[in-house]
Structure 1
Amino acid sequence: QGFSEDGMEVMERLIYLFRKFHQLKISNEEYACMKAINFLNQDIRGLSNISQLEQLNKRYWYVCQDFTEYKYPHQPKRFPEIMMCLPEIRCIAGKLVNVPLEQLPLLFKAVLHSCKSSLTSYRTGPSPCVTASSAT
């Protein structure tokens, strides 16, 4: 028995995201800022103080931008490329809840194996997040 359709999609997206992070050589600081920005996402239903959350989110956004522009002055597209990973992360998180719990350990093991082997034969491709069905 293989992975569910959602499981296969999550696996492909995680592998794509790993390759993107590896290509960009995301620093620990950038990763921490991405986590904070993603955590402070105001698109969550049931929040009471959205404006305060939005201000905090913007603060981390600017901290990450300032850090990235300071540390990588010769890579002006770096910050936008990093921020373009956030929708992919949110997309993965949304799909992950549909994967049967018993499939998760094997799914993550397959992702890790693929990522380790791709370090030796590294290749980037288009995001699996943009599919023919989602483009219409």
Structure 2
Amino acid sequence: MNAPAQSAPHVQVVLSDCSATDAGHLFTELCRHFDSDRGADDTPPHDTEGSRPTMWTGTFDTSAPAGAPDAPHTPPLSGPVKAEVQGEPQAVSRLREALAETFAVEEVGRVSGDQEVELELCLRNRAA
């Protein structure tokens, strides 16, 4: 007998085209909603010098809230941030909804597989 497929609640997030400060703000916001391999105060290291691209990664467990929704809200971003999120479709949807509570979220790309989806998102500050 086949067992029902288990939902994989983990979503990998890769941030690029942004400052270390903006990456830190985004990860802090996600840590308000979900448990992670990053601590809420685990800020990305300083920006690298030169023209080499810098990327920051984190994995978030969307199956249960992190228990810190009353934390202070995230400061505004200094500009648009590119985020690539990958995981099981329901988990990715939960993570996207959490981001949309604070940021304007635009989907700029999607790749769907058998049991995973990868979204490319552009995150901006909400218009006042």
Report the TM-score, using the length of structure 2 for normalisation: 0.31
| More strand by percentage | 2
Instruction: Tell which structure's C-alpha radius of gyration is larger.
Output: 1
**Which has the higher relative contact order, 1 or 2, with Cα contacts under 8 A spaced 6 or more apart?**
1
| More helix by percentage | 1
